[in-house]
Amino acid sequence: MTLPAPYGDAVDPAARARLPDRSGVAVRDGVELAWASYGTGSPTLLLMPTWSIVPSRMWKAQVPYLARHFRVVTFDGRGSGASGRPVGAAAYTDVEYAADTVAVMDDAGVDRAVLVSLSCGGTWSVHVAAGHPDRVEGLFSIAPACGLGVHDDAREEFGWSDRHPHARGWAKYNKHYWLEGDYRDFLEFFFTTMYSEPHSTKQIEDSIAWGLDVGPRTLVDTTAGRLGCDGATCASVEPLCAGVKCPVLVVHGTDDRIRGHQIGERLAELTAGDLVLAEGGGHGLPGREPVWINHLIRDFAERFAPTTPRGRTRSLARPKRALYISSPIGLGHARRDVAVAGALRELHPDLQVDWLAQDPVTRVLAHHGERIHPASAHLASESGHIEAECGEHDLHAFQAIRRMDEILVNNFMVLDELLETEPYDLVIGDEAWDVDYFLHENPRLKRSAYAWLTDFVGWLPMPDGGAEEAALTADLNAEMIEHRARYRRLRDHSIFVGNPDDVVPDSFGPGLPSIRSWTEENFDFVGYVTGFEPSVLGDPAELRERFGWRSDERVCVVSVGGSGVGTPLLRRVLDAVPLARRLDPGLRFEIVAGPRIDPRSLPRRQGARVHGFLPDLTSRLAACDIAVVQGGLTTCMELATLRKPFLYLPLRHHFEQSFHVRRRLERYGAGTCLDYDVARDPEALASAILRELGRDTTAYRPVETGGAQRAARLLAELV
């Protein structure tokens, strides 16, 4: 069955950490209720809908992790997402939502379930548990919000259905303001209040988009139904609490500005349940504290499932082990990380190195005989997400990473679970953003020595992003600075792959420090890690003979890295091949599509040979006469090391390639930066290639060697 958003094409599958195993639509009293099912374990967790202002996608940070252990079912409540939107308040009472829950359970084949809820969903869970005790194993209620006799003077000062002389604060929570005033303004107020924690821009952004999808008319009906207005009947949920006989756990933030934690305390009291208070937490804990909430839900669910006792290996009886996590966005990290791991083994020959990695990194690792941990199979594809975000040679890298949030949560949970069950002496993260961020958010989960590697520091806005993007990048930078100031010892080493002069001179943002000065204070610099020694690649003439290149021809290697975002550039170069060869008949092209672009999808040109993934790409760069590349740091620095003329075309809106990489290449005097608009004109691109072909590269600044060994010496201290 093809379903509308959020289960259909409106949400790109590449943005999802996990897709449903099954989906369907239950119909009750003519209202369609879209549900999805993930996993097969026991017990079943039913993640309840909440107020219709958001759909079931609000559980996106929970579903992938929990579904590896239990069966997880979600559904859009009536009035939201892909479910029906009946008209009138009477269609949205608590009783209707409770009956919908049972109908979804029946349609999805769920006999009994643990009900997990947020906000209003807690009320509906109580209705189901009291009315159908045989169907509910337990209640896990986050920030219960309504139906309990706890007053809130600030909110109750303004009647929801009354007209008010102003629209400030909670006066915005008003049917007339939604219908006749500024609905988006209300959403911004509500979700900024909901996510009271600093640096919650992504959660607020998601929620506003969901709220706009619902629309004011439906939100008025759903609210009236819950409040007992406009002809709807509403009753207190308190009398039902006595009928809840299953285990109950209530979690509530002490800084919940939507519904105070006194409501959570009251629900726990009435149901004889347990209470966990999140100190400083707001109302949206599943989105703002996903790792902690995931642990709590799993611990609660395991009360209802048989568990297997875990064994233990004495620490002195096991070998030394390091777990290496290498960023999958491109292949450059993999090549340098293999070099660092090799240098580390030279210092610790008894060290076992395992890799938590995904495609395309796994192809490089397999070529070098490295051990890829089986848990890697649970990682969600970061490269796939990046490719889905890309336009024609255009990747807004900062926004793409922000929109990768559910994938990053999933991948951190894979690491966290691995470290929970297997002991490692050292964890190394090379631009593993999920690892570094969520460890700083959850420092108690650090279980071993931990080292962080990167070749750039600082999120930077693109000029056309305006004030909004500048504010978002500054906010993320500020959060990182706060993390490091508060938990300075969490990283046992922070390693910058480069030198101080490679760091951009910009500021992190208004009121924030200089990126370079802060980086110098917080990182060890090891120089660049090329991942190879030029002297061991072999004689260029012998390499050319091995590759089948004639001595009287000049060879241009075209490479676009490990992801699929370089397809447009390859096509542009292939369009320019006939013109370039007309100007220089002795010029031939070696087109390297890489691991994620099908070579068969590219057009054929006389004098151009198309390859897929080449493990020996560096050797071909050493033997070529010129290269055309996308603008990633690794390939560009390999060419700089080899003193080859090359054109690099940074992806549009890719802040790292546009600012960080370009600064470093300019410092080395290497390569020529070319705007992609030039590549759109085959004649202009062909001319640029021939001009670069004649460039004198003796002025290139030498690229230092020994970076892998310097990095390994720092890591060796931690084993």
Enter the tokens of residue 671: 């390569």
Q: Quick one: pLDDT at residue 312?
A: 61
Q: Is the pLDDT of residue 5 over 80?
A: no
Q: Is the pLDDT of residue 3 over 60?
A: no
Measured CA to CA, the distance from residue 363 to residue 372 in angstroms comes to 10
Model confidence pLDDT, tens digit, residues 82-92? 999 999 999 99
Residues 6+ apart with CB under 8 A from 536: none
CATH for 315-530+709-716?
3.40.50.2000
Measured CA to CA, the distance from residue 483 to residue 144 in angstroms comes to 30
Q: How far is CA 475 from the centre of its chain?
A: 17
pLDDT over 90, % of the chain = 88
Enter the tokens of residue 678: 């030039």
CATH for 538-693?
3.40.50.2000
Q: Quick one: pLDDT at residue 311?
A: 62
Q: Is the pLDDT of residue 4 over 60?
A: no
Model confidence pLDDT, tens digit, residues 252-293? 999 999 999 999 999 999 999 999 999 999 999 999 999 999
Residue pair 304/76 in contact by the 8 Å Cβ criterion: no
Model confidence pLDDT, tens digit, residues 153-180? 778 889 999 999 999 999 999 999 999 9
SS3 category, 82: coil
- HEC string of 638-684? HHHHCCCCEEECCCECCHHHHHHHHHHHHHHCCCEECCHHHHCCHHH
Q: Quick one: pLDDT at residue 540?
A: 92
Q: Is the pLDDT of residue 147 over 90?
A: no
Instruction: Give the residue-averaged pLDDT of 557-584.
Output: 94
Measured CA to CA, the distance from residue 656 to residue 642 in angstroms comes to 23
Residue pair 322/352 in contact by the 8 Å Cβ criterion: yes
Q: How many CB atoms lie within 10 A of CB 485?
A: 9
Q: How many CB atoms lie within 10 A of CB 643?
A: 15
Instruction: Give the residue-averaged pLDDT of 51-58.
Output: 96
Q: Quick one: pLDDT at residue 232?
A: 78
SS3 category, 632: coil
Task: Beginning with the edge strand found earlier in the chain, give each strand of the sheet holding 274-278 in spatial order.
Answer: 22-28, 31-38, 71-75, 44-47, 113-118, 136-142, 248-253, 274-278
- HEC string of 312-381? CCCHHHCCCEEEEEECCCCCHHHHHHHHHHHHHHHHCCCCEEEEECCCCHHHHHHHCCCEECHHHHHCCC
20: left (phi over 0), alpha (psi -120 to 50) or beta: beta
**In the structure, what pLDDT confidence band is assigned to residue 308 with cuts at 50, 70 and 90?**
low
Q: Quick one: pLDDT at residue 153?
A: 79
* The domains spanning 315-530+709-716 and 538-693 adopt the same CATH topology: yes
Q: Quick one: pLDDT at residue 534?
A: 83
Running DSSP on this structure, what letter comes out for residue 412? H
Enter the tokens of residue 255: 């800084």
Q: Quick one: pLDDT at residue 314?
A: 65
Domain boundaries, the chain: 13-150+236-304, 153-227, 315-530+709-716, 538-693
Model confidence pLDDT, tens digit, residues 30-43? 999 999 999 999 99
Residues recorded for the chain: 719
Provide the CATH topology of domain 13-150+236-304.
Rossmann fold (3.40.50)
Average pLDDT, the chain: 94
Model confidence pLDDT, tens digit, residues 657-703? 999 999 999 999 999 999 999 999 999 999 999 999 989 999 999 99
Running DSSP on this structure, what letter comes out for residue 58? G
Q: How many CB atoms lie within 10 A of CB 538?
A: 13
Q: Closest by alpha carbon to 206, among 409, 35, 394? A: 409
Compute and round to an integer the Cα radius of gyration of the chain. 28
SS3 category, 134: helix
Instruction: Give the residue-averaged pLDDT of 118-137.
Output: 97
